[in-house]
Structure 1
Amino acid sequence: MLAAVDGDALDQAVGAYLTTRNTAGTASGKRQVIAVDGKSLRGSARLSAGRRHLLSAVTHHRALTLAQAEVGTKTNETAHFQPLLEPLDLNGALVTFDALHSVQANVTWLVETKNAHYIAMIKRDQPTAYRQLAALPWPDIAVQHTAYSAGHGRREPRSIKTCGIADALGGIAFSHGRLALRVHRRRNQTGGCESRESVYAVTSLDANHITPAELAAAVRGHWAVEALHYVRDVTYAEDASIFHTGTAPRAMATFRNLAVGLLKTLGAVNNAKTTRAIRDQPERALPLRGITNNPDAQGTWSSPARTARPETRPRYFSRTPATRYPSRRRGQAPQVPCLRGGPMVRPSCSSMALQRAAKVHRSMRYGAVLPVRTEQS
């Protein structure tokens, strides 16, 4: 069925829904920042066909996918840049993208047609613009903002400098460029050497419209789309998916975007933990759609007979290795609730006893009654 779904219609419906949720949750007066980037579906490749490639527009704030399109291969991303953003309301928004999309026609369309702004990364594949940016008097300009981050065994301070581009002096060879940026990164790896990197960018915003701190946050925030890709790959195993027929790979990617976006708009901090909680107790997903679990007169799913389930599993069934069998580390057997409402019983710590405890727990969840073998018996 998924192979026959209209991928464009599905992406438009999900994008419109997430756009509505994003508009409702966006703070008034705050500029919307959107990142454009592509992602390959590695599991969709076959001997007769290459992997599918999707281009997405994702918000920086909560990583909501507002638009998505299938582009065939990575080299086709540039041609799909304008059709992807055409349905979106970008009035006053700031769009970020990597050097692949730093194309004169695309940035001109953004500013003149969509009334939006951009931050374009400039690399050596545009020699004229790159040479002009590198030749600016950066040593004479003081650092205007510095941010620090630490994690994954490294410390990374990032500083930014800005320089106005005067049209009267010739400007630079990039459409609607008003402000030049130089971002300097120093990465200190624990037990390793320090690496340094300087990157250049151009924005259509003037210095009186945005602060250096906001520019630095927008450049750094572009990695929100990479974080979304990581969640789809690790939490939802997107690259391991073997869907490859018709529009099934694209439809599954759209459903993953919908799941991530829905949890983000509801304030989920840890997407993986929330997903596991819903997997273990599917009834937790109903309030996300506004469905309560109160029993009604018609005897729906939320009747007391079906909702009388334990709120949590026994601790030793935890998926986290650090909390698995916590009582065994204290030299005690794990405790299992008695089905008949009696006191807690302590099965032996042998493997067969633990298997028996698992059967007891499953019987509790689905209403069966199994005898409990204790140490005394």
Structure 2
Amino acid sequence: MLAAVDGDALDRAVGANLAGQDPAGTAPQQRQVIAVDGTSLRGSARLSAGRRHLLSPVTHHRALTLAQAEVGAKTNETAHFRPLLEPLDLDGTLVTFDALHSVQANVTWLAATKKAHYISVIKANQPTAYRQLAALPWADIAVQHTTTSTGHGRRESRSIKTCGIADQLGGIAFPHACLAIRVHRRRRQTGRRESRETVYAVTSLDAHQTTPADLATAIRGHGTVEALHHVRDVTFAEDASTVHTGTAPRAMAFLRNLAIGLLKILGADNIAKTTRAIRDRPERVLPLLGITNKPDP
């Protein structure tokens, strides 16, 4: 049945279900932030076909998957960016994505047509914009926000600087960009030497619409998607699944997203523990799906 189901229809139904149960997404005074990223289903590969690759928009706040599209390969993600986001109401939403999706045509459509804001990481795939960002007078700009975190045997610190693009002669060769962002990361793993990394980004948000702290949170929050993929693999053994026929791999992925999203909406912090509790008493899941067993009057 899953192999023959209409994958697009299932994705729309599950995405609408999750969005409908969490309409606000965040507190009223906060802006909704959505990350767009892809993942591969490793167990779906066969000698005659490569692994399936999926692209999804996921909310930062509760890691709810709002939509999903199957793409032929990771390099084809950019062609699915607009069709994936087209049905969603993104007015005023902040969308984050990595350098792969920093395509000027898609970004222009996102800002002009969907009325959304964005944070776009700029790397070598945008050589002109990258050179312009790196050449900004960052040494003359003070650090505006720092964070430090520890865990899993490592310590990581991040500092952020922002620069108004309109103040720079010639601006930046990127559509609707208002602020340039420089994030410097320092990471020390136990027993290893410290590593450093500098990341440049641009955003359509202006200085009066956001703060360096909010930008730092949004950039770091993009990892929400990767955390969701980790839960799908570790708790639901997604990479170990050898389902590969028809739309079954895609359908199973979104059913996992549905389970995780419902538990997140309920406030579950430990998905693995909560899943085990439901496994031991399956009837507990029925109310979560809106299914009741009331006798007829």
State the 1:289 CA deviation. Answer: 3.2
Aligned counterpart, 1:14: 14
Q: 1:48 to 1:297 in 2, by over 3 A?
A: closer
Distance 1:204 1:290 in 2: 40
Deviations 1:28-66 (A, max 9, x none): 121000000001111111111111110000000000000
Distance 1:125 1:6 in 2: 35
Aligned counterpart, 1:40: 40
2:23 is paired with a residue of what secondary structure? Answer: helix
Aligned counterpart, 2:74: 74
State the 1:126 CA deviation. Answer: 1.7
**Contact map agreement 1:25 1:265 (CA 8 A) in 2:** no
Distance 1:240 1:216 in 2: 34
Structure of greater Rg? 1
2:269 is paired with a residue of what secondary structure? Answer: coil
Distance 1:197 1:155 in 2: 14
Q: Which amino acid aligns with 2:172?
A: I
**Contact map agreement 1:144 1:212 (CA 8 A) in 2:** yes
Aligned counterpart, 1:87: 87
Instruction: Report how many aligned residue pairs link the two structures.
Output: 296
Distance 2:38 2:292 in 1: 38
Aligned counterpart, 1:162: 162
1:70 is paired with a residue of what secondary structure? Answer: strand
**Contact map agreement 2:90 2:114 (CA 8 A) in 1:** yes
Deviations 1:92-148 (A, max 9, x none): 000000000000001100010000011000112222111111111111111100011
**Contact map agreement 2:25 2:61 (CA 8 A) in 1:** no
Moved runs in structure 1, 4+ residues, more than 6 A?
none
Aligned counterpart, 2:50: 50
State the 1:190 CA deviation. Answer: 1.4
Aligned counterpart, 2:287: 287
- Per the normalisation by structure 1, the TM-score is 0.76
Q: 1:31 to 1:4 in 2, by over 3 A?
A: same
Q: What runs of 5+ residues in structure 2 fail to find an aligned partner?
A: none
Q: 1:28 to 1:140 in 2, by over 3 A?
A: same
Distance 2:290 2:34 in 1: 28
State the 1:169 CA deviation. Answer: 2.4
State the 1:283 CA deviation. Answer: 2.0
Aligned counterpart, 1:349: none
Q: 1:35 to 1:7 in 2, by over 3 A?
A: same
Q: Which amino acid aligns with 1:136?
A: L
% same residue: 79
**Contact map agreement 1:188 1:195 (CA 8 A) in 2:** yes
State the 1:167 CA deviation. Answer: 6.8
Deviations 1:139-177 (A, max 9, x none): 111110001110010100101000000177211111111
Aligned counterpart, 2:190: 190
State the 1:203 CA deviation. Answer: 0.3
Aligned counterpart, 1:112: 112
Distance 1:56 1:256 in 2: 13
Aligned counterpart, 1:351: none
Greater relative contact order structure (CA < 8 Å, 6+ sep): 2
- Per the normalisation by structure 2, the TM-score is 0.96
Distance 2:15 2:50 in 1: 26
Aligned counterpart, 2:254: 254
